[in-house]
Amino acid sequence: MEPPAPPRRVTIVDVARHAQVSTTAVSKVLRNAYGASPEMRAKVRRSIDELGYRPHAGARGLRGQTYTIGVMLPDIRNPFFPEILDGITGRLADTDYQVFLGPGGCNDEKAEARVTEAMIDRGMDGIILIAPVSPRAHIEHVASVVPTVVVGRHGHSPVYDTVTDDDVTGASLVVGHLADLGHRRIAHIEHHETDPTRIAEMPNAQRADGYRQAMRSFGLAEEIDIVSTTYTQQGGYDGAKELLARRRPPTAVFAGADIVAMGVLEALTEAGVSVPGDISVAGYDNTTFASFGPISLTSVDQAGHEIGENAARLLLERIADRHKAPVQIKLSPTLVPRRTTAPPLE
């Protein structure tokens, strides 16, 4: 069965005529360019809606725009990423850009290279990389080819913008909260990291660092106890098992991410350890999982929605002027205490 012949396409000329503006004005609105007034935007948008005009990606590709933005997601199971994504799609809802997500794989440099190359290859206009683990050189290569914003990875670069959370402060909020409750044996589960560049740039490394600094500042330097696994549910499970096997187990566990805390809670439930009766647990990210009533996990809110919005805004600016000065945005986290943390028994 052959598809029926498509009806004649509505063109930019039709839109301009209908809106009684120039085609240049329509093009400006479509490109989200400076110099289109809000009234002009509204008028053109109305005509676009009424006529059902849809820019043709193929044709746009020939002039260098595909109105496509790629978002590389490392792990679709981590409940923090939908928050960021909502912020991105929310900011782009009013534009002609379509977002496509590329699954990047968890801590998988090869998968990241594959998906970023695929995005470049499809002529995407801009890319948002969420918590990439690839070497800086690869990210700079990507950014030299296509406008790029990096989310959840610290460090400056002349070629891309970054949006991060202040992870050192976030970790210190957790340690301060637990110390205030009276805990001394506060352990941390970190994401194992050996790459020297990444140690300076990755949120996980900064959280571990913030934990160390805060423990020292609360006079708990001798109680510093870090288990290295991964930022996954399994990593949390394995880390908790390791901590429970200690001669003197901790009275509180600071998991580096909510998904890690999920694994911790799983292991503690299995071992018959009560939370927060025997052990307090805190996460990081303040996902919907943390706020879920039966769990009610103390966590750090790093404002994923705001992170996503900022990333999309910076990307639109960089698409409009790819040689602009790089911008680093660092947002301030807040602590959300819930039912999984309480004073220690002893």
Q: Which is nearer to a second copy, 68 or 134 (CB)?
A: 68
Sign of CA dihedral 27, 28, 29, 33: positive
Q: Which is nearer to a second copy, 146 or 168 (CB)?
A: 146
SS3 228: strand
- Helix axes of 23-31 and 12-19: crossing angle, nearest 10 degrees: 110
Q: Which is nearer to a second copy, 184 or 241 (CB)?
A: 241
Interaction between residue 54 and a second copy (CB under 8 A): yes
Smallest gap from Cβ 119 to a second copy, in A, equals 8
Classify residue 298 by its DSSP letter: B
Interaction between residue 77 and a second copy (CB under 8 A): yes
C-alpha 256/C-alpha 299 separation (Å) is: 10
Scan residues 205-234 and list those touching a second copy (CB under 8 A): 233
Scan residues 81-100 and list those touching a second copy (CB under 8 A): 81-82, 85, 89, 98-100
Q: Which of 65, 66, 162, 206 binds a second copy (CB under 8 A)?
A: 66
Q: Which is nearer to a second copy, 104 or 210 (CB)?
A: 104
Interaction between residue 272 and a second copy (CB under 8 A): no
Sign of CA dihedral 203, 209, 214, 217: negative
Q: Read off the amino acid at residue 159.
A: V
Interaction between residue 121 and a second copy (CB under 8 A): yes
Smallest gap from Cβ 20 to a second copy, in A, equals 26
Residue 173 burial by Cβ neighbours in a 10 Å radius (0-12, 13-18, 19+): buried
Q: Which is nearer to a second copy, 89 or 169 (CB)?
A: 89
Interaction between residue 103 and a second copy (CB under 8 A): yes
C-alpha 276/C-alpha 236 separation (Å) is: 17
Interaction between residue 342 and a second copy (CB under 8 A): no
Interaction between residue 248 and a second copy (CB under 8 A): no
Q: Which residues have C-beta within 8 Å of that of residue 47, sequence separation ≥ 6?
A: 15, 18, 19, 53
Q: What are 151's two structure tokens?
A: 């989310």
C-alpha 110/C-alpha 144 separation (Å) is: 19
Classify residue 64 by its DSSP letter: T
Residues that bind a second copy (CB under 8 A): 1, 3-4, 54, 56-58, 61, 66, 68, 70, 76-77, 79, 81-82, 85, 89, 98-103, 114-115, 117-118, 121-123, 144-145, 158-159, 233, 262, 265-267, 269-270, 288, 292-295, 323
